[in-house]
Amino acid sequence: MKSIQCNRIVAKNLALLYGEAARRFGKMPAFATRKSALQWHPVSYKELYNQGLNLATGLINLGVMARDHVGLFGDNRYEWMLADYGVQLCGAADVPRGRDVSDAELHYIIDHAGIKVSFVETKQLATRLLKLKPQLPGLEHIIMLVPKADVPEGILTLDSIRQEGARLRESGDRTAEERIAGIKPDDLFTLIYTSGTTGTPKGVMLSHDNMMSQIRNLPGQYGCSDRILSVLPIWHVFERVIEMYTISFGGCTYYSSILTLSEDMQNVEPTFMASAPRLWEKIHEKILLNVRKSHPVRQLLFHIAYFLSKQYKNSEYFITNRNLKMKPQPAWQRFLLMPLHVLRWVVVLPWYGFFNAAVLERIRLGAGGCLAATISGGGALPIHIDKFFNYVGIPVLEGYGLTETSPVVSVRPKINLIVGTVGPPIKETEVRIVCSDTGKILYPDNGCALNGRGKRGEILVRGPQVMKGYFREDTLTGAAIRNGWLHTGDIGMMTHNNCLKILGRSKATIVLSSGENVEPEPLEMQLLRSRFIDQCVVVGQDRKFLGLLVVPNLSEFGKIGLNSVSMSELAVMPEAREIIKKEIRRLISQTGGYKKYEQIGEFRILPDKFEIGKELTNLFKIKRHVVAEKYQDVIEELFTKTSKK
Amino acid sequence: MELPDQLLYTHDQALLGLMIAIIMLGMGASLTINDFRAVARNPKGVFTGFLSQFGLMPLIALGMSIVLGLHPAFAISLILIGCLPGGTTSNMFTYFSRGSVALSISMTTASTLLALIMMPIIINLYTVGFTAQLSADLRVGGEETEFVIPTGNIISSLVLVLLPVILGMILRRKSPGWAKTAEDTAGFLAVIVILYLIVTAFLRHGDLFIKTPKEIYIASVGLGLAGFFFGYWFSRLIGMKPIFQRAISLETGIQNTPVAFAIILLSFNEPVQSQMLWLAILYATFIVMTSSIITLYFRRKGKFDWDVYKNIQIHNRLFGEDYVTHYPDGYLPKRLVNDPSQGTQPAQNRKKAS
């Protein structure tokens, strides 16, 4: 017999999911908004659905047709979710983007997607769009999300439309129900414009079917008692799938922000959290900082605990066959090593048990103490961060996906967690590895030993989550989806325990003038282990050697006595250069297994940090083309000056 | 069974003494005045715990001594262990077993104070038969002495043991940072010293483990297990909520063994001292293993109740004291349906509402 708490709602489309959630979870809180640290405002599933129906009726009254595209520009807040409810319940699709959208993007998206009605979050955004309106003949209505603010002329408010809808529904209007019944599985629920790490925005068309397949196929067991802390931009597909997933099992989403995150973690004690790698790096840094600040005895205890946990977990991974296997492991080797690992496991167990309980639990309490799992996506998680959290006892489930795959292709399940991989593909999903030059299928390949595992190539995906295509970009769609397979442009391999391992983006691959191919991402991740390096970018396309652009960590330099006001000041300090140089040598050395052409020949300290919206995407991924453009002179100087020497 | 004349050398005893002092200091460092106030806030739980700790547990010890036909020295030791107060170890295990830590701390606090009165009474009452037997044995051996329980000494060693606890509490008030360190160090030291004692005992008197009759093993393992079992069912039958059942069960089974070491070393002499000490060492070793296993079991079994409880706690913390969480129909099992907060949040009590 299935118990209800394990049941996820499986519906045909999002509108029906919302309805079923309201029926099943009724008065349970669905979303909570922060007023102050210990004062949050909950909205129940039923309230949300009823408000959503009212809003949908209001939108229909405003002229929104089924399958229309409705703009939704703003960041995490309850009204955003309500607007999404409204759009889904009137059978339309939303076109979301964050508050930091530029005027040019705004213009491009509204024009390209043919948006008639658009939500905007703030007054500031509303005025900006109002100015653009004359150039956008299709745009009819602008609706502001923020409730209590003075409204510029020519702008509607969400509240007024909802109230109008409520009045209509009271007088018996049931058009929303008709629209819901009319939604086809193939209809879009959203049209997401990605700027991604390359090029101009593309509108990714995701259907109800895409999203429902994700909810159906994601692993994990959650229920009404789960609390999800939300920090990622709400309009990003990774965050959205988590929101929909949460609705499907009746959990409550708490909207936090980067600034209040650590406080909110303490107060909300989330059981689940999704975030991008950069955030885990920050948390990792903070934990280590707290350890360094603590009493020497406790520092020692932490290091003993961490060491023991590492020994224990590594043996456990070996015994349960969950160690990263990029090369095949011969049976005799496993047979010989097994007794050693079992012995180590048994010897370490009691000590690990004690230190885990007494020391590591304190660390976990820093993250609220209830985290059953955390999920990382939207970029590669550096391996040392990955290991750190797993050793400390906060299981990090790294996943892989693209906006084009709504987004999850694979994720590590909690019961089969293999550090260093992004887990096996989720149900109903097929993955192929093909040679990026010849297009030859490397995995799965029956004719080859071990079915082609361990071979690197481009990742291809086929499954119910793959998008319908790029909106009004047939050539691009045709290039991305060939014979039903989505070409991801990412380089990866299938490990010998059937997990996907991501090795880089083919578009980011640096080809040196010597013809050697270098993946910059693994090198950058290795370099990020240095506490002096905050961010870095490896460059060197068509050059003789690799160069590095470094964003230094000012506070760490300050701690060792190199106080400087700005990074440009630090950049000219010979001591700082010396330290960075040493760090690079230490981290990327030939003795450490790096090839000769992977050595960093020269580096420059940059005068500014990377910023979100400029050099970084909203998920903190580096936009290489932006960095390359912005620091063109620095890069040019780096290579010319050194080669003259 | 014959034990070597001296189970512990003088330096071992000094080490043990130091360890006891540090552990008790660590225990004090984990307590605040609020913990004493908390006793008053949950009188029903603390009283149930009291009945379980000073009523059930000594009876179990007595019963086991009789059924297993233990040698009087071992029997006295077992009864002594049976009526010990709880220690900080039980608080830690309760935390991980998803039980009420507040109740566990309250019970530890209350029982440590009450031990001053209860322990002498219970020991005297329950060991009557065994002391008589011991005296008879001694007379057969040609000695003209009578074995009596050193009640006065027991009380003074208890007082002595409580001194570092008070010191620890002062430390906590003065410097919370140091108090935290003391707490961690104490736990670590306890494990080290117990292991040291076991290992040295093993090296010096390796045959001791073989010579020790199986009743002694049964008694030292069984006492804790029986405590868990009866503590659990007693509190359950009395109608306590699941999170309290787990706390009471662990508090009943896990005793503050350092106190036992102190009493045995300070109040008893040979020929019974070594035997008493041996049983206490065995109990201290096995209880760590049994309570770890029980804790893992409770942790798994209590997950659902705990998640519900925790969720409600947080709802009331963030949405206001009077927020009522309406779980969907059929989600909560019968034991939680009337009060999913398990008696910790008044607003969640459905019985009163309807």
Asked if residues A251 and A24 have their Cβ atoms less than 8 Å apart, the reply is no
Query: How many pairs of residues across A and B have Cβ atoms under 8 Å apart?
Result: 80
User: Which residue in A25, A29, A354 is closest to B328 by CB distance?
Assistant: A25
- The residues that bridge with A518 in the sheet, in sequence order, are A510
Residues of A in contact with B328 (CB under 8 A): 4, 24-26, 28, 224, 250
Q: Are strands A29-36 and A517-518 parallel, antiparallel or unpaired?
A: unpaired
Is residue B251 scored above 80 in pLDDT?
A: yes
pLDDT in the model for residue A644:
43
Asked if residues A196 and A173 have their Cβ atoms less than 8 Å apart, the reply is no
Going by C-beta distance under 8 Å and a sequence separation of 6 or more, which residues neighbour residue B293?
Answer: none
Asked if residues A118 and A71 have their Cβ atoms less than 8 Å apart, the reply is yes
Asked whether the beta carbons of residue B184 and residue A223 sit closer than 8 angstroms, the reply is no
Asked if residues A170 and A596 have their Cβ atoms less than 8 Å apart, the reply is no
Distance CA B158, CA B162 (A): 6
Residues of B in contact with A32 (CB under 8 A): 318-319
Chain B contact probe: residue of A47, A225, A268, A303 with most B CBs at under 10 A: A225
Distance from CA of B154 to the nearest CA of A (A): 31
Place of tokens 């922000």: A257
Ranges of CATH 3.40.50.12780 domains, chain A: 8-183+218-275
Asked whether the beta carbons of residue B92 and residue A357 sit closer than 8 angstroms, the reply is yes
Distance CA B197, CA A317 (A): 33
Task: Classify residue A540 as left (phi > 0), alpha (psi -120 to 50) or beta.
Answer: left
Mean pLDDT (chain B) is 87
pLDDT in the model for residue A218:
92
pLDDT in the model for residue A4:
41
Distance CA A634, CA A163 (A): 57
Task: Classify residue A251 as left (phi > 0), alpha (psi -120 to 50) or beta.
Answer: beta
Distance CA A550, CA A559 (A): 18
Asked whether the beta carbons of residue A358 and residue B315 sit closer than 8 angstroms, the reply is no
Residue A153 burial class via C-beta count within 10 angstroms: exposed 0-12, middle 13-18, buried 19 and up: exposed
User: Which B residues 138-197 touch A at CB under 8 Å?
Assistant: 177-178, 180-181, 184-185, 187-188, 191
Average pLDDT over residues B72-83: 93
Distance from CA of B53 to the nearest CA of A (A): 25
Asked whether the beta carbons of residue A42 and residue B319 sit closer than 8 angstroms, the reply is yes
Query: Residue B4 — very low, low, confident or very high, per pLDDT cuts 50/70/90?
Result: low
pLDDT in the model for residue A3:
40
Name the token pair of A260: 């209040």
Q: What is the 3-state secondary structure (H, E, C) of A111-135?
A: HHHCCCEEEECCHHHHHHHHHHHHH
Give the residue from chain B lying closest to A269, CA to CA: B314
Going by C-beta distance under 8 Å and a sequence separation of 6 or more, which residues neighbour residue A625?
Answer: A197, A198, A199
Residue A502 burial class via C-beta count within 10 angstroms: exposed 0-12, middle 13-18, buried 19 and up: buried
Domain A8-183+218-275 has CATH 3.40.50.12780: yes
Q: B300 — contact with chain A (CB < 8 Å)?
A: no
Please give the distance of CA B199 from its chain centroid, rounded to a whole number. Answer: 24
Domain annotation for chain B: domains and CATH numbers? 10-300 (1.20.1530.20), 307-353 (no CATH)
- The residues that bridge with A494 in the sheet, in sequence order, are A500
Distance CA A104, CA A12 (A): 36
Q: Are strands A430-434 and A39-44 parallel, antiparallel or unpaired?
A: unpaired
Q: A8 — contact with chain B (CB < 8 Å)?
A: no
Distance CA B82, CA B58 (A): 4
Q: Using alpha carbons, select from B88, B72, B69, B68 the residue that is nearest to residue B80.
A: B72
Query: Residue B273 — very low, low, confident or very high, per pLDDT cuts 50/70/90?
Result: confident
Asked if residues B119 and B167 have their Cβ atoms less than 8 Å apart, the reply is no
Asked if residues A142 and A130 have their Cβ atoms less than 8 Å apart, the reply is yes
User: Which B residues 65-94 touch A at CB under 8 Å?
Assistant: 92
pLDDT in the model for residue B354:
44
Q: Which amino acid is at A325?
A: K
Fold classified for A509-644: GMP Synthetase; Chain A, domain 3 (3.30.300)
Q: B323 — contact with chain A (CB < 8 Å)?
A: yes
Asked if residues A403 and A240 have their Cβ atoms less than 8 Å apart, the reply is no
Asked if residues A73 and A98 have their Cβ atoms less than 8 Å apart, the reply is yes
Give the residue from chain A lying closest to B340, CA to CA: A225
Residues of B in contact with A26 (CB under 8 A): 326, 328
Q: Are strands A546-552 and A141-144 parallel, antiparallel or unpaired?
A: unpaired
Going by C-beta distance under 8 Å and a sequence separation of 6 or more, which residues neighbour residue A134?
Answer: none
Give the residue from chain A lying closest to B94, CA to CA: A357
pLDDT in the model for residue A512:
77
Q: What is the 3-state secondary structure (H, E, C) of A560-614?
A: CCCCCCCHHHHHCCHHHHHHHHHHHHHHCCCCCCCCHHHCEEEEEECCCCCCECC
User: Which B residues 324-343 touch A at CB under 8 Å?
Assistant: 325-328, 330-331
HSE (side-chain half, CA atoms, 13 Å) at A26 = 9
Place of tokens 């496991």: A345
Distance CA A426, CA A428 (A): 7
Asked whether the beta carbons of residue A38 and residue B318 sit closer than 8 angstroms, the reply is yes
Buried b (16+ CB within 10 A) or exposed e, B42-57: beebbebbbbbbbbbb
pLDDT in the model for residue A415:
85
Is residue B131 scored above 80 in pLDDT?
A: yes
Asked whether the beta carbons of residue B323 and residue A42 sit closer than 8 angstroms, the reply is yes
- Walk along chain A (645 residues) in steps of 10 and give the mean pLDDT of each run: 58 94 95 94 96 96 95 93 96 92 88 95 92 93 88 90 95 94 94 70 93 92 92 90 95 92 92 88 87 85 93 93 85 92 93 87 86 85 89 92 92 88 94 86 85 89 94 89 91 91 78 74 86 88 86 85 77 85 88 81 87 78 82 86 54
Ranges of CATH 3.30.300.30 domains, chain A: 509-644
- DSSP reduced 3-state for A433: strand
Q: Using alpha carbons, select from A425, A402, A454 the residue that is nearest to residue A219.
A: A425
pLDDT in the model for residue A521:
83
pLDDT in the model for residue B5:
56
Distance from CA of A443 to the nearest CA of B (A): 40
Residue B322 has φ and ψ, to the nearest 5°, of -100, 10
Residues of A in contact with B250 (CB under 8 A): none
Q: What is the 3-state secondary structure (H, E, C) of chain B?
A: CCCCCCCCCHHHHHHHHHHHHHHHHHHHHCCCHHHHHHHHHCHHHHHHHHHHHHHHHHHHHHHHHHHHCCCHHHHHHHHHHHCCCCCHHHHHHHHHCCCCHHHHHHHHHHHHHHHHHHHHHHHHHHCHHHHHHHHHHHHHCCCCCCCCCCHHHHHHHHHHHHHHHHHHHHHHHHCHHHHHHHHHHHHHHHHHHHHHHHHHHHHHCCHHHHHCCHHHHHHHHHHHHHHHHHHHHHHHHCCCCHHHHHHHHHHHHCCCHHHHHHHHHHHCCCCHHHHHHHHHHHHHHHHHHHHHHHHHHHHHHCHHHHHHHHHHHHHHHHHCCCCCCCCCCCCCCHHHHCCCCCCCCHHHCHHHHC
pLDDT in the model for residue A258:
84
Q: A41 — contact with chain B (CB < 8 Å)?
A: yes
Task: Give the sheet arrangement for strand A533-539, strand by strand.
Answer: A533-539, A546-552, A600-605
Asked if residues B284 and B194 have their Cβ atoms less than 8 Å apart, the reply is yes
Distance from CA of A297 to the nearest CA of B (A): 7
